[in-house]
C-alpha cells in the first residue's frame, strides 16, 4: 500500500509543472479558428452554419410527438409529462406583422426559412421543440426596442435567444412564439485597460470575448463548456456559473452594468461601469438570471481580472467521496488565493467520456478509482505557485486523500484534462437519452443523492454525478438508451423532494426554463414566488416575454388585460 502511494507520488512529482496559458479550447476543435474575433459572427447564416458543425453537422430532425406544429399541447421529456395549453390571449402571426418586421429589420434579418427555423426551434439537448414560424435578428438596441414595442401592442409572444445552449428548455419557443435571436449584436463597445471593464453587446460569443481579453492581458471571470456558442447576454440572463466561480464569484458580482429593453420597448440604460453605486435599488440584478422573462439584455459591462502568468492543472483520483470533500477543504486552506477551479466527476462519468468522445484518454494508468478531481491554480508567481501546489499534493497524498494523480506539463496536457471534465455533457448526449439535473446541496450530503438514485434505478439506467464541487453544485444525470416515462417517474419528484428536504436549490446554475417552471416551490416559498409574479406582471403586463418559463404560467396569466 505504502509502495503504491510512493509510486503514485513519484508520478505526480515527475511531471515538471509548467506555467500554462489560460485558454483551454479543444486542440482539435474547429471552434478555435472560427471564434477568434468578437465580431466574427456578423451574419446569422454563418452563426447557423457554425452551430450545425458544433452540434453534429445536421439540422436536428423533428422529434416525434414534439414536432407537431399545430399542436395545442406540449409534451416534453425534460420533466414529468405535463400538459401546457397555448395561452389564447396571444395573437397569431399574420402577413402584416411580417411586413412590419421587414420594414424595421430589413428582409434578410426576418427569417422564415424552415431549416433555420427548425434549428432555432430546437434546444441543445434536442428535448424541447417549438413551432415558431419567425426568427428575427435585430442589429441594434433601437431595433430590439421597436420589435418589442410592436409585439407588445399586438400581443405577440416572444422568446429571447442567445447561443441556444441552455439546458432547461428556456431558449426555444413552446408554441409559436417569435424568436428574437441576439447573434447580430456582437460588437465590443469599449475596454478600459486600467479598470479591466469591458462593455459589449449581448450577442458576443463568450469565447470571442475570452480571445479579445486575452490579447489585452485580461480574462473573462466566467468560463463554461459551451463557451464556443453561448453569448454573454445568455450568460447574464441565466446567471451562468461555470468552472471558475469558485475563484471569481457569480455574475451578480462581476456584471457592473446592463442595458435592457422592456416588453413595451422602453430602453433601460443601467450600463454603468462603476464598482460602487448605491443609488437606489440596483435593478440590473433583476435581469441577471431572469432567463429573458423580464426584458431583453442588449448590452453588458463586466469586470475582467488581469491574466496571470502561472496556471497549473492537476487531475487526481480519490478512493471515495469523503476524500474529495476533505481534499476540497485542504485545497481551500493550502492553495488559498491561487485556487481557480475545483471540479469533480465520478468513475461513471469518466467511463462515459472515454467511451463516447474521440481522442480522449485517461491520463492515469487504468485502475479502479471511484472519483476524479480536477484542480486548477492561477497565480502570478510561477515558482511559488508550483511549490505551493506540490506541497499540497504531497500532503494530500500522504494523508491518503489522493490515490493517484498527474500534473499537466504543458498546455496540451492541461487542455486534455479539461476536455475530460468539460466533455461530460457531450458524452451524455452521445450515449442516448439524458435526464439532467442541477442542484445546489451541502457538499457533505451531495453525493448521497447520486447513490440513492442508483439504488432506486438499479440496472435500468446509468446514474452519474459530476460538477462544481468547489461551489456545492452537483450535476446529477441519468442516462438511458431511450426516454422512458417509467424511468422519469422514478426520478421525479424524488430528486426535487430530496433537494428540498436538504434545503438545497433545484437550480444551481442552469435556471428553471420550461423544465422547472412549476417546480420553483421546491426551493422558494409561496410568498416569494408571488412577489416574483408581481414583478413579472409589472414589467411585462401582457406576459409576452418568454411565456411558460421560469414561473408557473398560471400565476402570470390571470386573464387580466393590460393596456400599455
Contacts to ligand MLT by CB under 6 A: 225, 424-425, 436, 438, 467, 475
Residue 118, phi then psi, degrees to nearest 5 = -60, -40
All three cell numbers of 400, joined, read 491518503
Burial of 124 (0-12, 13-18, 19+ CB in 10 A): buried
Site residues for ligand FAD, window 504-543 (CB under 6 A)?
A: 509-510, 513
Minimum CB separation of residue 333 from ligand MLT in Å reads 25
Residue 225, phi then psi, degrees to nearest 5 = -60, -25
- Alpha carbon of 300 to those of 95, 230, 288, 525: distances in Å? 34, 15, 11, 31
Q: Which option in ligand FAD, ligand MLT, none does residue 470 bind, with CB closer than 5 to 8 A by kind?
A: none
Question: Binding ligand FAD by CB under 6 A: which of 238, 304, 490, 518?
Answer: 238
DSSP 63: -
Task: Please identify, using beta-carbon distances, which residue of 225 and 257 lies nearer to ligand MLT.
Answer: 225
Q: Which option in ligand FAD, ligand MLT, none does residue 424 bind, with CB closer than 5 to 8 A by kind?
A: ligand MLT
Q: Which residues, listed in sequence order, are joined to residue 553 by a DSSP beta bridge?
A: none
Task: Please identify, using beta-carbon distances, which residue of 219 and 476 lies nearer to ligand MLT.
Answer: 476
Task: Please identify, using beta-carbon distances, which residue of 26 and 307 lies nearer to ligand FAD.
Answer: 26
All three cell numbers of 63, joined, read 422529434
**Is there a contact between 323 and 401 (Cβ–Cβ < 8 Å)?**
yes
Q: Which residues, listed in sequence order, are joined to residue 377 by a DSSP beta bridge?
A: 312, 339
**Is there a contact between 111 and 135 (Cβ–Cβ < 8 Å)?**
yes
Task: Please identify, using beta-carbon distances, which residue of 318 and 424 lies nearer to ligand MLT.
Answer: 424
Minimum CB separation of residue 413 from ligand MLT in Å reads 20
Minimum CB separation of residue 503 from ligand MLT in Å reads 21
Binding segment for ligand FAD among 59-67, 165-173, 270-278, 457-465 (CB under 6 A)? 165-173
Task: Please identify, using beta-carbon distances, which residue of 406 and 545 lies nearer to ligand FAD.
Answer: 545
Question: Binding ligand FAD by CB under 6 A: which of 110, 120, 156, 296?
Answer: 296
For 380, residues 6+ apart whose C-beta sits below 8 A from its C-beta are: 308, 309, 310
Which 3 state secondary structure label does DSSP give 526?
Answer: helix
Q: Phi/psi zone of residue 59: left (φ > 0), alpha (ψ -120 to 50 degrees), beta? A: beta
433 lies in the binding site for ligand FAD (CB under 6 A): no
Minimum CB separation of residue 449 from ligand FAD in Å reads 19
DSSP 150: H
Minimum CB separation of residue 240 from ligand MLT in Å reads 8
Question: Binding ligand FAD by CB under 6 A: which of 122, 211, 237, 440?
Answer: 237
- Alpha carbon of 501 to those of 438, 454, 492, 505: distances in Å? 16, 19, 14, 10
Binding site for ligand FAD (CB under 6 A): 124, 159-167, 170-171, 182, 202, 224-226, 230-231, 233-235, 237-238, 240-243, 291-292, 296-297, 425, 509-510, 513, 546
Amino acid at each position: 500500500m505504502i509502495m503504491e502511494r510512493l509510486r503514485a507520488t513519484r508520478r505526480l512529482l515527475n511531471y515538471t509543472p509548467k506555467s500554462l496559458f489560460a485558454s483551454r479550447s479543444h486542440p482539435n476543435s474547429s471552434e478555435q479558428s472560427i471564434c477568434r474575433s468578437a465580431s466574427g459572427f456578423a451574419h446569422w447564416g454563418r452563426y447557423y452554419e457554425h452551430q450545425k458543425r458544433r452540434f453534429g453537422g445536421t439540422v436536428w430532425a423533428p422529434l416525434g410527438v414534439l414536432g407537431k406544429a399545430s399542436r395545442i399541447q406540449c409534451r416534453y421529456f425534460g420533466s414529468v409529462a405535463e400538459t401546457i395549453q397555448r395561452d389564447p390571449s396571444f395573437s397569431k402571426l399574420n402577413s402584416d406583422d411580417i411586413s412590419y418586421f421587414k420594414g424595421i429589420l430589413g428582409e434578410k434579418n426576418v427569417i422564415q426559412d424552415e431549416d433555420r427555423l427548425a434549428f432555432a426551434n430546437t434546444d441543445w439537448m434536442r428535448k424541447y421543440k417549438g413551432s415558431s414560424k419567425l426568427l428575427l435578428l435585430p442589429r441594434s438596441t433601437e431595433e430590439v426596442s421597436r420589435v418589442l414595442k410592436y409585439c407588445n401592442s399586438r400581443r405577440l409572444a416572444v422568446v429571447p435567444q442567445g447561443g441556444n445552449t441552455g439546458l432547461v428548455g428556456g431558449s426555444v419557443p413552446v408554441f409559436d412564439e417569435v424568436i428574437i435571436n441576439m447573434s447580430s449584436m456582437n460588437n465590443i463597445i469599449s475596454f478600459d485597460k486600467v479598470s479591466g471593464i469591458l462593455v459589449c453587446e449581448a450577442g458576443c460569443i463568450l469565447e470571442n470575448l475570452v480571445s479579445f481579453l486575452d490579447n489585452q492581458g485580461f480574462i473573462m471571470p466566467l468560463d463554461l463548456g459551451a463557451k464556443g456558442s453561448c453569448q454573454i447576454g445568455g450568460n447574464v440572463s441565466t446567471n451562468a456559473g461555470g468552472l471558475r466561480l469558485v475563484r471569481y464569484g457569480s455574475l451578480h458580482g462581476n456584471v457592473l452594468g446592463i442595458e435592457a429593453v422592456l416588453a413595451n420597448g422602453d430602453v433601460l440604460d443601467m450600463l454603468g461601469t462603476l464598482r460602487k453605486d448605491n443609488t437606489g435599488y440596483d435593478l440590473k440584478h433583476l435581469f441577471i438570471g431572469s432567463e429573458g422573462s423580464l426584458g431583453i439584455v442588449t448590452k453588458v459591462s463586466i469586470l475582467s481580472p488581469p491574466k496571470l502568468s502561472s496556471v497549473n492543472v492537476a487531475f487526481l483520483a480519490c478512493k471515495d467521496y469523503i476524500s474529495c470533500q476533505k481534499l476540497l477543504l485542504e485545497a481551500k486552506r493550502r492553495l488559498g488565493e491561487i485556487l481557480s477551479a475545483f471540479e469533480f466527476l465520478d468513475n461513471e462519468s469518466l467511463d462515459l467520456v472515454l467511451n463516447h468522445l474521440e481522442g480522449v484518454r485517461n491520463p492515469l494508468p487504468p485502475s479502479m478509482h471511484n472519483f476524479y478531481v480536477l484542480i486548477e491554480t492561477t497565480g502570478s508567481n510561477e515558482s511559488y505557485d508550483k511549490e505551493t501546489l506540490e506541497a499540497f499534493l504531497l500532503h494530500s497524498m500522504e494523508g491518503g486523500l489522493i490515490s493517484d494523480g498527474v500534473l499537466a506539463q504543458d498546455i496540451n496536457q492541461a487542455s486534455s484534462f479539461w476536455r475530460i471534465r468539460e466533455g461530460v455533457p457531450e458524452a451524455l448526449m452521445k450515449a442516448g437519452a439524458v435526464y439532467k439535473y442541477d442542484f445546489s446541496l451541502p457538499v457533505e450530503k451531495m453525493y448521497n443523492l447520486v447513490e440513492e438514485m442508483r439504488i432506486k434505478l438499479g440496472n435500468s439506467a446509468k446514474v452519474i454525478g459530476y460538477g462544481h464541487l468547489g461551489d456545492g453544485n452537483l450535476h446529477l444525470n441519468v442516462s438511458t438508451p431511450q426516454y422512458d416515462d417509467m424511468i422519469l417517474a422514478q426520478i421525479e419528484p424524488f430528486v426535487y423532494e430530496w433537494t428540498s428536504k436538504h434545503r438545497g436549490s433545484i437550480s444551481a446554475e442552469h435556471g428553471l426554463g420550461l423544465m422547472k417552471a412549476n417546480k420553483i416551490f421546491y426551493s422558494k416559498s409561496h410568498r416569494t414566488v408571488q412577489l416574483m409574479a408581481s414583478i413579472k406582471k409589472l414589467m411585462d403586463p401582457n406576459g409576452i416575454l418568454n411565456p411558460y418559463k421560469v414561473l408557473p404560467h398560471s400565476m402570470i396569466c390571470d386573464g387580466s388585460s393590460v393596456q400599455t
